[in-house]
Amino acid sequence: MSTYGYRKHQGSRYFAPFFLLLAPLLSLLLYASPVYADNGFPIIAVLHAGQRPEGIAVDTSTHLVYIAYEFPSLVVGFDPVRGNVRWKVPIGDSTTDVQVDSTNHHVYATGTSRNGRTGYLAVLDGASGKTLFSTDTTPGDDGLAFDTKRQRAYVSSSNSGIIDIFSLRTSPAGNISALSSTLKVGSHPQALGVNSRLGRLYIGDIASNTVTVIDENSNHTLATIPVAAVPVQPIRVDEASGHVYVVCSTGQELDVIDGHTNKVIARVPVSPYPEGVAFNTATGRIYVADEGHNDTAFNDVNSGTTITVIDGQSFAVLGTLQVGRAPDGVEADPALRRIYVSTEDSDAVVEISDSPDLPLKNAPNFHQAAAIHQAILLLR
């Protein structure tokens, strides 16, 4: 049991007289038998290690989970199998995003200074949290992506219209250095994604509402694809299918691009102000975090409380799952059949069991939503 507030199904530990009154809430997290959300996915556990968790990443080889917390500015390495926090590392004054390379287990994290005049990129060892490389980036960094094949990290600045490119080199002793360059694309580039197989960089522009496709070898523009309003970080790429998943916040939809033809093949309506997106190759499902407000609102009364679940073949909406207030980041671990969702306004990361045999309901279950909200508060 972690000192950071991780709670998992493992039997009753509380015997206060009012236990019977709290039993329906505690049973979500404190009992061995799973409690199914919406008669579908069970909530496995809740982690509290900071305030306003945003980006989230999963190493699909080691199954470690990495979380970017805005306050205090931390990247946390978490082991869901053992249920403990491995390490925590500060990144600037406000950590903005985190991603992980499952081939070399390097963690990429971005942050900003308090005044917003300096951006930071750090490369961390996924097992220990040791800083392997760090550098300043163009102020106003918003997006983060990396190419595992070419060992490149990309950081976008929507304020300046610049993409910072860091070509990383690892010495025999394990020291990392980088050659840096910049790329000017559009006026307000934010969302980033990479297909390392095709050598493609995808850049979402929040002003022009487009996704620009860049050849990584030449930096030439291959296509500019119109999408719905305000494509936001991150752009997810399924390298096996070539599908590119773009969450459009103001447009309230998930746009799916065929990476081989550079055409939009699906536009899926979702809840207001969606933010994160992930896909699970084991179940063939796509998950969109329904944040419910833009990033300028803290603890907004209109915060969303769900993730939308979409069939990866038909792109039909299968239903929604209540997870907590203002879900932002979402990630999948196909081997463990787990989904991880960062809920900003609940200051929590929710761990969910995923299975294609557990159907979702389209109708919202407000009683279950309230129970999850109360259980999250209880475990703080």
Q: What is the mean pLDDT of residues 331-352?
A: 92
The model's pTM: 0.86
The domain ranges of the chain are 1-50+270-380, 52-184
Are 134 and 121 contacting, i.e. CB atoms less than 8 angstroms apart?
yes
Name the fold adopted by 52-184.
Answer: Methylamine Dehydrogenase; Chain H (2.130.10)
Q: Would you give the DSSP letter of residue 359?
A: P
pLDDT tens string 12-22: 222 233 333 33
pLDDT tens string 57-114: 999 999 999 999 998 899 999 999 888 999 999 998 999 999 999 999 999 999 998 8
Question: Which long-range contacts (C-beta less than 8 Å, at least 24 apart) are formed by 255-263?
Answer: 255/227, 255/228, 255/231, 256/315, 257/202, 257/211, 257/225, 257/227, 259/195, 259/198, 259/200, 260/198, 262/213, 262/222, 262/223, 262/225, 263/225
Q: What is the mean pLDDT of residues 337-343?
A: 93
